Each structure stands twice: as C-alpha cells, then as structure tokens.
Homo-oligomer: A and B are copies of this chain.
Amino acid sequence: MNAKKNSLPIVVLAGGVGAARFLRGLALVNEPRATTVIVNTGDDTTLHGLNISPDIDTVIYTLANAIDAQRGWGLSEESWRAMESLNKYVKVRPENSNAAPDWFNLGDKDLATHFYRTARRAEGATASQITTEIARAWDLEQQILPMTDDDVTTVVELAEDCIAGKAGDAIGFQEYFVKYEHGVAVRAVTFNGAETARPNGLKQLKDAEVIVIAPSNPIVSIGPIRALHSVDETLQGIRNRVVAISPIVGGRAIKGPADRMLNELGYESSALGVAKMYSPIASTLIIDSADAHLREDIQALGLRCVVTDTMMVDSSVSAALAKTTIDAAIGQNQ
C-alpha cells in the first residue's frame, strides 16, 4: 500500500499489451479495487476446442506479474511440451484440415486458463463470471470485465491477393494477427454480433471519475468495444471525463499493426489521426513527447492535449503515465 495512492473510480477501456502495461502503472497510483477494466473480446477464438481470450489473459497475467515481459503475452517460465508434441499430428492431418493449428502457441502452464474457461463456459457460466473467477485465482483486486458476455467476432477482410487467400476473404483476427503475422493488407474490419451484443460496464462508465482509453489499437482493440450498442453514446455523454492515450508514436505503432491498419483503412497513422478517431468520445488526448509538434493540430479538434513520455519501458514510466492521465482528467473536470 502506498500512502499517496488515489482511490478514484476509474474505468479503463483495454486491448492487450499496451493496455496491460498501462494498467500495471495505474495499480501503483490508484487503488486496484477502485479500477474497472473493460477488455476487448473481439479477438477471442477457439483452438483445439478451447475457448481462448487473448486480451483478457494478457491483462490478467500482466497485472499478476506473471506475464512473460519479453514476449508480452503468455506466462513467464513457460514450457511448450504440448505444442511441440502437436508437430507429430500436423504431418498426418488431411490436406483440407485445419486441425492441429501450430501457428498459435499455447504454453503448458497457460493451458490451465483455457481449460478452466472452456469448462466453465460449457457449464453455462458467462464470460463475466469466468473472468472474475480467473482474476480472483490470480489475486487481482481490479474488476476485469469482458466487453460483453455475448459473442462478438472481429473479422478482417483482406485487401489483395496474398498468402492468406484472395481479396475479400474474411479471416478471424487471430489468423490475421498471429498466423499471418499481421503482414497482409486489410480493406475492412467488422465486428460480427456487435450491434446486438449487450455491453458490460456501462454503469461503471457512468459512475467513473476518470475513463481512460488505453494505448491500444484504435481499430481492433478499442473498435470492438465502441461498436457495442450504446457504448459510443455513453462515452459521448461523459466525454469531459474521458482521456485517451495515443498508441501511435512518431507515426508508428509501439507494437502490432495499428499503423499500417490505420493507413489501409483510410485513417492517418499519427497521433493526429488517433485524435480524429477519439475526438467525439474523449476530451483529452495524451501523446508522446516525440509528437509534441502535433499538439496544436490536436487542440484545434477540440481536444486538450497533454504531452508526456508514453513509452512504457518499465513500470515507473507506466506509473508516471497513469498519474499524468488521472491528473489530466481531474484537471479537465475542475
């Protein structure tokens, strides 16, 4: 316990790695139990019959200090015996079969999480219940919420002929992201089921003093959450309390394909492009010092703009970024 810790009701909209790093910093400056995290589940997938929620697991493992920091996903001190043994079957599967997918690595220790989620899902438990149980297993105090308990699937439509198939082919997000290493051009991203899915955390959003849009991919991490019925409207109504952190620094994504994806889908791959996407729902954008020259253009969009160090190379930077984020929101309110 840190005597200087705030205990503000904060909601964070989160994707994977960038959000998880921010949340670890936030836990150092705000009471974890006062924080609610709404996590993207559009890239959930099923492999080997197992229900897998990559962003939720990344958030939970990171907050539990169990993440493999080097990789940014999965558990530290992991082993890969199950995956290694799968090789034997890759060789015998029929040509038209996608069984034994060996492009998505699942560590032996990590498997227990997917086993638990799958078994609870089969018993009829909701994604919220299961996520709460998993977070408790890892001794977390934050409330971790999947963005919805309904099925929403992020589908990536390919732009051109490539190894993945032909233009217009629609593939699952994990296939795009992991199998094809997000190296194929995209012409559309859709969130199947989003219009009818009921969002989680609307009440927490309305009650929060600070709402943070984490430095996650605006299209495939924050996009699915925004696509849920009434989420964008809710955020518009509380816009003065919403602070976004740009995941684009110097025109490039810190991690992942956000920069190319923004370009491919007609946005600008810059903090200014991010500002344009978020200006309807956020009143403040936090950008990296490297983008300080964009401040005026961003302010011209009707956003406050705070310049700071957003490269979360360690948890002290994360904590400082979290503190700056909270201060920006509170300053805005006063």
Contacts and interface: CB of A to CB of B under 8 A. Distances in A.
Interface stretch (A130-138, A249-257, A287-295): A130-138
B100 A116 contact: yes
Given A48-B50, A48-B119, A85 B109 contact: yes
Interface stretch (A87-95, A175-183, A221-229, A316-324): A87-95
B120 A99 contact: yes
A49 interface: yes
Given A93-B116, A133-B93, A85 B98 contact: no
Contact of A49 (B49, B81, B98, B134): B49
A82 B133 contact: no
A105 interface: no
Interface in A101-117: 101, 108-116
By secondary structure, the A interface counts as helix
Quickly give the copy total for this chain. Answer: 2
Contact of A136 (B50, B92, B97, B133): B92
A85 B111 contact: yes
A51 interface: yes
Interface in A25-68: 47-51
Contacts of A82: 82, 108-109, 111-112, 115
A91 B139 CA distance: 11
A79 interface: yes
B137 A109 contact: no
A118 interface: yes
Contact of A133 (B79, B81, B92, B110): B92
- Chain A interface residue bracket vs B: 35 or more
A134 B120 CA distance: 29
A327 to B, nearest CB: 36
Contacts of A88: 112, 137-138
B99 A85 contact: no
A89 B48 contact: no
A14 B305 CA distance: 72
Nearest to A115: B48
A100 B112 CA distance: 8
A293 B85 CA distance: 49
A69 interface: no
A1 interface: no
A122 interface: yes
22 contacts: A48-B114, A48-B116, A49-B51, A49-B119, A49-B122, A79-B79, A81-B81, A81-B109, A84-B109, A84-B112, A85-B108, A85-B110, A89-B112, A89-B137, A92-B133, A93-B133, A94-B133, A97-B123, A99-B123, A99-B125, A100-B112, A100-B119
